[in-house]
Each structure stands twice: as C-alpha cells, then as structure tokens.
C-alpha cells in the first residue's frame, strides 16, 4: 500500500486519542513512522491500519480505567496508590519507563508484574484469586494493563538503566535474544535479526530498525488472529513456544529480562498503544 494512500485514510474521525501525555492517537503515531520509513512491516495490513480508528482494545482500555479507580479486593481500595515509577497513581509516561527497579519490592518489574504486586499488597488479592490467576484473554489484568499503558501512547521508550539490577536485566535479555537453543536451534534474532524475513505471509520486524521495532514491542495490542487483546508477557511466551524452547514462566526474571532488552532496543521511539497486530 502506497504512502499516499495511507495518508488518505481518515485517521482521527472515529475515536479520540487515549488520555495521556500526547494528543496523538495510536494510528497517528504509526502513520508518522510510516511516512518516515520505507518498511513493508509497517504497512503490511491495510485492514489493520483501518481498524485502529475504532479497535476493540479501546473497550478494554475503558473497562481498565473503571477497574483501576474502583475499590476492590479484600482491602477494598483502588489502585490509585500504586506507584508505577513516577509516584502513586501517576500513569502518564510510566509505562515507557518500564521495566525498572522498585525499591519496595527489591527487584526489577515490568508493567504486568508490578500491577500484580500492587493488587496483592494494596488490594489484598492472592495468586489463587481469579483477578490474578486469569492472566490472558478478556481478563482484569489485560484491561488494567491496556488502560495504564495507553497513558504513554506517543511517548518515547526510555527504560532506566541507573540501578545495577536494571543493567543486569537488560544484559541478560540481550543474551537471551541472541542465544540459540531448543530442538530447532532458534533464537529471537533468527526471526528479528534482518529485514525481509517472513513467517508464511507475515513480514517480520527487524530489531535493528527502530521504527519497526517500536511497533513490534508496543503491547498491549489487539491481536486480530486471536480476537483478543494481548500483553507483553503473552507475546514473550508465544515467541518462546514458536522457537520450540522450554516454556518460560509468566512474570519470571527471564521474561522481564527479554522485555528489558527489547524496550531498550526501541529507546527514543514513540510507543503505539494500543496497537493492532495480525
């Protein structure tokens, strides 16, 4: 699809931009990247580009806002006192600066693990409660992630590397990204180490191309093929499965390490949240 044709799409007619630090909608952020880059990955689905104006992830985002502000759990408190890195209840720009080290937990956390931590410590939920146990699909966790992450739409990825554990996680993620393993001897770089690679009809993003990589890591996003909104942890798990490597534990240090590395690779590029993906 030509850039001229893409410019002709009505970008702003259907929905307002998610509340956040910029007045751009996710599709406007993406189209700005398309205008500045000759990328088959960014333009491979005209239908997905058109869907972004009124995508199902907006429903998840709206429901997530209600859940965020509603007193819940055994302690009957909201998540407005949860600190995602910029102070209690401050969401604008928090997601693009994660994973990061949190002193109260003594570890590096991504959005999903930090959200679960606050749901436990502030609201009193346990791992056995459905609010935490149900991690994928049309769940509370996915809705909350979508709302929180959307407050960083259009802002540049800028994960901190000031704490030694932040650097260690990023470096461990780099090792993971390039390490070949499993019965197929695949690594993340097998699919994302060069331009022009495909899985069947799908064009794959090149991690060395910042414009492609920021779209690749912009989660939560509506997965058309799954008919569901997915988060970063789900993407990590699915990629590891596709490489035929050993199953990765949800929220583990290994999963956060790879997210730390892939976010650092997109540093300075604008987040596109919520996105639409194949």
Per-residue pLDDT of the chain (278 residues; tens, 9 = 90+): 333 433 343 333 333 344 444 568 999 999 999 999 999 999 998 888 898 988 999 999 999 999 999 999 999 999 999 999 999 999 999 999 999 999 999 999 999 999 999 999 999 999 999 999 999 889 999 999 999 999 999 999 999 999 999 999 999 999 999 999 999 999 999 999 999 899 888 999 999 999 999 999 999 999 999 999 999 999 999 999 989 988 899 999 999 999 999 999 999 999 999 999 98
DSSP, residue by residue, 161-190: --SHHHHHHHHHHHHHHH--BTTTTB-HHH
* Tokens representing residue 101 in the block: 């080290």
Looking at residue 23, what is its pLDDT? 61
* 191 assigned to active site: no
Looking at residue 45, what is its pLDDT? 86
Looking at residue 199, what is its pLDDT? 87
Instruction: Give Cα separations from 37 to 2, 210, 249 (angstroms).
Output: 12, 10, 36
Looking at residue 13, what is its pLDDT? 31
CB of 240 closer than 8 Å to CB of 232 = no
Looking at residue 19, what is its pLDDT? 43
Looking at residue 258, what is its pLDDT? 97
Looking at residue 247, what is its pLDDT? 86
Strand partners, 107: 102
Q: What is the phi/psi pair of residue 123, to 5°?
A: -100, -15
For the domain that residue 225 is a member of, what is the CATH number?
1.10.760.10
CA atoms within 13 A on the CB side of 204: 17
CA-to-CA distance for 222 and 226, rounded, in angstroms? 8
CA-to-CA distance for 85 and 244, rounded, in angstroms? 35
User: Which range of residues forms the domain containing residue 204?
Assistant: 3-154+163-276
CB of 192 closer than 8 Å to CB of 61 = no
- Judging by DSSP bridges, how do beta strands 202-203 and 221-223 pair with one another? unpaired
Looking at residue 200, what is its pLDDT? 86
Annotated active-site residue in 118, 188, 191, 239:
239
Looking at residue 22, what is its pLDDT? 54
Q: How many other CB atoms are found less than 10 A from the CB of residue 87?
A: 9
Looking at residue 245, what is its pLDDT? 87
Among 216, 215, 261, smallest CA distance to 235 is for: 216
Looking at residue 93, what is its pLDDT? 98
Number of domains composing the chain: 1
Looking at residue 47, what is its pLDDT? 87
Long-range contacts of 254-259 (CB under 8 A, 24+ apart): 254/172, 254/176, 255/110, 256/99, 256/108, 256/109, 256/110, 256/113, 256/169, 257/169, 257/170, 257/172, 257/173, 257/176, 258/173, 258/176, 258/177, 258/188, 259/99, 259/110, 259/173, 259/232, 259/233
Looking at residue 11, what is its pLDDT? 36
CB of 263 closer than 8 Å to CB of 172 = no
CA atoms within 13 A on the CB side of 29: 28
């Amino acid at each position: 699809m030509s850039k001229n044709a893409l410019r002709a799409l009505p970008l702003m007619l259907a929905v307002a931009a998610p509340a956040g630090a910029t007045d751009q909608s996710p599709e406007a952020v993406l189209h700005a990247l398309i205008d500045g880059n000759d990328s088959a990955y960014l333009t491979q689905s005209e239908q997905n580009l058109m869907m972004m104006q009124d995508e199902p992830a907006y429903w998840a985002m709206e429901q997530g806002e209600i859940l965020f502000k509603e007193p819940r759990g055994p302690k009957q408190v909201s998540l407005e006192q949860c600190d995602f890195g910029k102070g209690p209840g401050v969401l604008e720009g928090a997601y693009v600066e994660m994973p990061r080290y949190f002193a109260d937990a003594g570890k590096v956390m991504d959005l999903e693990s930090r959200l679960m931590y606050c749901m436990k410590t502030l609201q009193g939920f346990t791992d056995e409660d459905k609010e935490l146990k149900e991690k994928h699909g049309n769940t509370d966790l996915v809705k909350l992630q979508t709302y929180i992450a959307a407050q960083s739409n259009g802002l540049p990825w800028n994960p901190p590397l000031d704490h030694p554990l932040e650097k260690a996680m990023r470096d461990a993620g780099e090792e993971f990204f390039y390490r070949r393993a499993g019965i197929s001897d695949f690594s993340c770089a097998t699919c994302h180490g060069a331009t022009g690679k495909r899985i069947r009809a799908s064009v794959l993003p090149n991690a060395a191309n910042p414009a492609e990589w920021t779209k690749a890591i912009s989660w939560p996003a509506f997965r058309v093929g799954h008919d569901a909104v997915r988060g970063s942890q789900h993407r990590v798990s699915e990629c590891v499965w596709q490489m035929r490597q050993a199953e990765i534990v949800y929220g583990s240090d290994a999963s956060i390490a790879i997210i730390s590395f892939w976010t650092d690779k997109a540093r300075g590029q604008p987040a596109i949240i919520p996105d639409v993906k194949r």
